[in-house]
Structure 1
Amino acid sequence: MIATSLRMRRHLRLGLLAAALFATAPVLAQNILIRNATVHTAGGQGTLRNSDVLVRNGVIQAVGSGLSAPAGVETVDAQGKPLTPAFFAGITEIGVEEVSGESATDDSSVSLSTLQPVRPEFDVTLAYNPDSVLIPVARVEGYGYTLLGASTGGSFVAGQGGILRLDGSADPIGPRALFVRLGSGASELSGKSRAAQWMLLDQLVAEARGRVPSDSPHALLTPAGRAVLARFLAGQGRIVVNVNRAADIRQLLRWAQKENVRVAISGGAEAWKLGAALAQAKVPVFVDGLADLPADFDQIGATLENAARLDAAGVSVGFSQSGDASHNARKLRQHAGNAVANGLPWEKGLAAMTRVPAQAFGVDDRIGTIAPGKQADLVLWTGDPLDVINTAQQLWLGGKAVPMRSRQTELRERYLRAEGSLPRAYGR
C-alpha cells in the first residue's frame, strides 16, 4: 500500500514537472519554408493565394510564389490552407492572474487607499509569469500576443501594462500603456460620481505638469507617479480607457484634445454613436463584439453592428472582451466572426485581430502582419480563422513551431485513456 502510494506521488510529480517544462519552454528561432498557403498578410499585400513564406532565424525573409528552400530549411506544405499572423488575445491579465477566485494568484491591481490611492507608476508587467498555465491555453488557439492590462483596484487610474508575446519571454515589447476606467463602473472609486472623474483627472494633469506643488497636502500623486503620468501626457504611450457610454466618450475626446494625449478605448459599447469624431481624433476602439444588450445604463445603445458602424466611419477597430478575458482569450475570434456576420468586412475582422492592435500599441514594426523583416509569428488554420468551426493547426512564434498542447489537452488525453494498473489520474 505504501509502495503504491509512493509510485502514485512519483507519477504525479513527474506529470506536473513535464507539464511545467512544456508550458514554459522558451520558443527559439527557426528556419522554415511554408509552401502553398493562402497567405492573409493583414498588410498592404492583402491575401496571396498559392504563396510561400520563407523564415530565416525567426524573421520573415520573403513572401511570394515558388520560393526555393535553402539547404537545411524545413519545408511545410500548407495545402492551400489559411496562414495568418499570430492573433491578438485582447486586453488580458494572462500571466498575472492564475486562478481568478484565489487572491494569492492575482497581481493585476493595486489598492493603497490609506496612502496615495492614485498610483500610475504601478506596472503590472513586473509580476508577469511566463510560466503561467494560461499561456499554452491561449497559444493552441492561435494567439501569439496580448496587451497585459492593469485592472482597477483602489483607483480608477489602474496603472501600466504592455504588450507580451506568448513565446516564453519574460519582458514586454513596445511602450507601456496606462489603464483608466471611466463611467459608472468607476464611480465608487471617484466619490460616487462620474463627474468627479474629470475633476480628479484635471488635478492629476496639473500635478504631473508641475502646476501643483509636490508637497501640497492635497496632492494625489507620488513623485514617481508624476513622472510616469508626465510621460503619457507627452505622448510616450497610449492611455487605454475602459468606457462605454457615448456621453462619457464625448467627454474623453474633449479631454484628450485639450491635453493633447493619445488614447484608445476599450469596451466602447456606444462608441458607434461618435464614429466620425473618433475617426477624426484617430482613436482606436477595442470593442466587445458580443455586446448587444443593455447590460447596464452605460450600454443602452449596445449593438452587434458596433464594429461595422465604427469601421464605416473610418475608426480603427479591434476586439477585447469583458469578463474573464484571461481564461477565455480563445473566444476572442468569435467576437471578430460575429462582427463580420454583422457587417464588418472580413479583411477588417482579420486586421482587428492582428495589425490594428500592433499599430495601436506601437509594436507593428515587429508583429501584426506577414511581411519581410517581421518576426515570424504565424498561424496555419484548418479553415477560415474567423469561423469557430475551424482551429489553429500550427502556431509558430519566432519561426519555432509551438507544441499544440496545453494543460487542458493533457488532462483530456489522460482521462480518455483506459485505466491501467494505476487510476487514470496518475497515468503518464
Structure 2
Amino acid sequence: MRISQMVMGAVASLMLTVPALAQETVAIVGGRVLTGTSVVENGTVVISDGRVVSVGQGGAPAGARVIDAAGKVVAPGFVAVDSGLAGSEVGSIGGTNDLANRSNTLSAAFDVSYGLDPWSFTLPVARLGGVTRAVVVPQHPGSSGGHVHEHDTAGAGEGGYHTPGLFAGQAAVIHLGRGTDILVKPRVAMTAPFGEAGAGVAGGARGAEYTLFKETLAEVRLYARNKAAYERAGLRDLMLSRADLEALIPVANGDMPLIVTVHRASDIRQVLRLAREEGVKLILDGAEEGWLVASDIAAAGVPVLLNPVSNLPANFEVRAARMENAAALDAAGVVIAIKGNEGSVHRARETRYNAGNAVSHGLPYASAIAAITVNPARIFGMAGQFGQIAPGAAGDVVVWSGDPLEPLSQPSAVFVNGVEQPLEARNLLLRDRYRQQTPMPPAYRN
C-alpha cells in the first residue's frame, strides 16, 4: 500500500467516525476512585448524558452498562496545560504550526482557537496518556516548546521594526474526544513572555519591557474610555491596532488572566509587583526558581504552571532550578498545575510521568493528582466543569490498570464527555499493520 493511502486509512480509523452524543448510562464499579479532591475505595462512578451523575459506594443503577474496575484505579481525565495539542502537527514543518504568530500588526488579538485541528494525530496519542482536556496556548519567545525565537513572533519584523508586540495571543480550552467540535472555550487567557525573552521582544532590556507594558495598558484604558472619539479619528495615535486594543481590555480590567512566562526569581518578584501596580490577574508559567520566592507567590494568590523535572541550569535564568520546586510551591500554599514536556504536544502524555516525578521529590500524592486535574480547571476559571469526578462535572473518566502516576499503568477505558474512546492511535495502528504484514512490502524485503 502506498504511504498516502496508509495515512488516509489511519485518519479515517482515528477521527472520521464521529460518535453520537452519549445517551447510555455507564457505571464503573469496584475501583479505587481518585476524584481529584479525595479517594473513594471500592467506589462506583455513574456517567450519563455526558456528565458524572454520582460517585460513592454502592451498586450500579438499573439498566446501566457496568464496567468492572475491581483492582483498578479510576481517575479524572488529565488536563494538559501550556499545551500545543491540535495546534501543531510536526514541529519542523511550519505549515502545520498554528501556534506562533509572526505579524507585526496583530499580537494580543491572535486567537489560537481558529487554528485547531480535531483530526490531529497528536490527540489520540495524548488521550492514551489519560489526557482528556488541554489548555492550548500560543507560542512565543521562551515558550516551553523551545522552537520559537524572538524574531519568530509579533514584535520584531524582518528589518528590526518594533511594535509593542508584548503579547502572544489568547489561549483556548479543548477536549480530546473524537469528533469535529473539540473547542470548549476560546479566549480563556492572554499570554506574554517576560524575563530574558520578553526583554528581547521589547528591545533588549527588562526595564524596557516593563515600561512598555505599563504604557500599553494605559493606552488600552484610554481607548476603552474613548471609543467614540477613536472611531471618528478624534483620539491621538495609539501604538496598537484596534483588534489588539479590544483584546487587551479584559486584561487591563483584571477580568482575563495573563499567562506570564518567567523563570528567574528576581523576575518573578518584579512581575508580581507589576501585577499589583496595574491590577492584572496573573498566571505564572515556568517559574523554575519559584521555590526561592514561594511565599511571595502565595501571598499574591498567583497560580503557577510548571514542569517539575526542569532542574538543569541551562542558562542564567534557571541557575537555581531544582526538582523540589513543585513541592516547595505547594507547601507554601501556591496552586500549581503540572505540565507535560516540550510544549505538551507530542509528549503531552508525559504529564502524568512528571507528576509522578514531583511526588518522588516531595510533592504529596494528592497534590500531584490535583495538579493535573482540578487545579487547571480552577486556574482557568472552570472549576467544577471538568478535571474531577463529581456530580455535574464532564464525564471525563479514565480506568487505569494501576496507579496512573506509575509509567507501567495503562488505561483500559477512557471516557470524554461520557463517550468511550477507542484505545488506539496512529503509532499503534502502524505498529500493528507492519507487525502483521506477511509478506513484507518489497521495500522492506530488500
* TM-score, with length taken from structure 2: 0.87
Q: AA paired with 2:322?
A: T
Distance between the aligned counterparts of 1:100 and 1:223, measured in 2?
32
Alpha-carbon spacing, 1:219–1:383, altered in 2? closer, same or farther (3 Å):
same
Contact 1:24 1:132 in 2 (8 A): no
Regions of 4+ moved over 4 Å: 211-218, 421-425
Report the alpha carbon displacement of residue 50 of structure 1 after superposing the two structures with TM: 0.3
Report the alpha carbon displacement of residue 154 of structure 1 after superposing the two structures with TM: 2.0
Alpha-carbon spacing, 1:133–1:322, altered in 2? closer, same or farther (3 Å):
closer
- Picking from 378, 389, 392, the partner of 2:411 is 392
- Picking from 297, 305, 313, the partner of 2:332 is 313
2:136: which partner in 1? 148
Contact 1:267 1:322 in 2 (8 A): no
Distance between the aligned counterparts of 1:94 and 1:313, measured in 2?
31
Structure 2 unmatched ranges of 5 or more: 141-152, 156-165
2:395: which partner in 1? 376
Secondary structure of the 1:163 match is: strand
Contact 2:112 2:169 in 1 (8 A): yes
Q: AA paired with 2:265?
A: A
Report the alpha carbon displacement of residue 185 of structure 1 after superposing the two structures with TM: 2.3
Alpha-carbon spacing, 1:245–1:74, altered in 2? closer, same or farther (3 Å):
same
Give yes or no for the alignment of 1:137 onto 2:125: yes
Distance between the aligned counterparts of 2:303 and 2:186, measured in 1?
17
**Cα shift readout 1:102-137 (whole Å, capped 9, x = no counterpart):** 111111121123xx3x62111011111111111111
2:42: which partner in 1? 50
Q: AA paired with 1:176?
A: V
Report the alpha carbon displacement of residue 221 of structure 1 after superposing the two structures with TM: 1.2
Report the alpha carbon displacement of residue 289 of structure 1 after superposing the two structures with TM: 1.0
Structure 1 unmatched ranges of 5 or more: 1-7
Deviation larger for 204-213 or 57-66: 204-213
Deviation larger for 154-163 or 368-377: 154-163
Distance between the aligned counterparts of 2:194 and 2:302, measured in 1?
16
- Picking from 206, 212, 215, the partner of 1:203 is 215
Contact 1:37 1:79 in 2 (8 A): yes
Q: AA paired with 2:8?
A: L
**Cα shift readout 1:134-160 (whole Å, capped 9, x = no counterpart):** 111101111001110011212341000
Contact 1:125 1:172 in 2 (8 A): no
Secondary structure of the 2:357 match is: helix
- Picking from 65, 68, 74, the partner of 1:77 is 68
Alpha-carbon spacing, 1:416–1:424, altered in 2? closer, same or farther (3 Å):
farther
Report the alpha carbon displacement of residue 12 of structure 1 after superposing the two structures with TM: 5.6
Report the alpha carbon displacement of residue 175 of structure 1 after superposing the two structures with TM: 5.2
1:262: which partner in 2? 281
Report the alpha carbon displacement of residue 172 of structure 1 after superposing the two structures with TM: 3.1
Distance between the aligned counterparts of 1:319 and 1:245, measured in 2?
18
2:206: which partner in 1? 194
Give yes or no for the alignment of 1:23 onto 2:42: no
- Picking from 31, 36, 40, the partner of 1:37 is 31
Report the alpha carbon displacement of residue 391 of structure 1 after superposing the two structures with TM: 1.9
Mapping of residues 239-388 of structure 1, within 5 Å: 239-321=258-340, 323-388=342-407
2:57: which partner in 1? 65
Distance between the aligned counterparts of 2:427 and 2:6, measured in 1?
17
Give yes or no for the alignment of 1:106 onto 2:106: no
**Cα shift readout 1:182-237 (whole Å, capped 9, x = no counterpart):** 11123321101122110111111011100798667763211121111111222332
Distance between the aligned counterparts of 2:59 and 2:187, measured in 1?
35
Q: AA paired with 2:56?
A: G
Distance between the aligned counterparts of 1:64 and 1:324, measured in 2?
36
Contact 2:10 2:426 in 1 (8 A): no
**Cα shift readout 1:381-422 (whole Å, capped 9, x = no counterpart):** 111111212222221111211101000111111121142385
Distance between the aligned counterparts of 1:241 and 1:421, measured in 2?
51
1:3: which partner in 2? none
Secondary structure of the 1:157 match is: coil
Contact 1:24 1:130 in 2 (8 A): no
Q: AA paired with 1:120?
A: A
Distance between the aligned counterparts of 1:361 and 1:278, measured in 2?
17
Distance between the aligned counterparts of 1:324 and 1:424, measured in 2?
35
Alpha-carbon spacing, 1:322–1:400, altered in 2? closer, same or farther (3 Å):
closer
Report the alpha carbon displacement of residue 16 of structure 1 after superposing the two structures with TM: 1.7
1:86: which partner in 2? 77
Contact 1:418 1:424 in 2 (8 A): no
2:256: which partner in 1? 237
Give yes or no for the alignment of 1:165 onto 2:184: no
Contact 1:58 1:375 in 2 (8 A): yes
Q: AA paired with 1:289?
A: P
Identity across aligned pairs (percent)? 31
2:160: which partner in 1? none
Q: Over the residues paired in the alignment, what is the CA RMSD in angstroms?
A: 2.1
* TM-score, with length taken from structure 1: 0.91
Q: AA paired with 1:376?
A: G
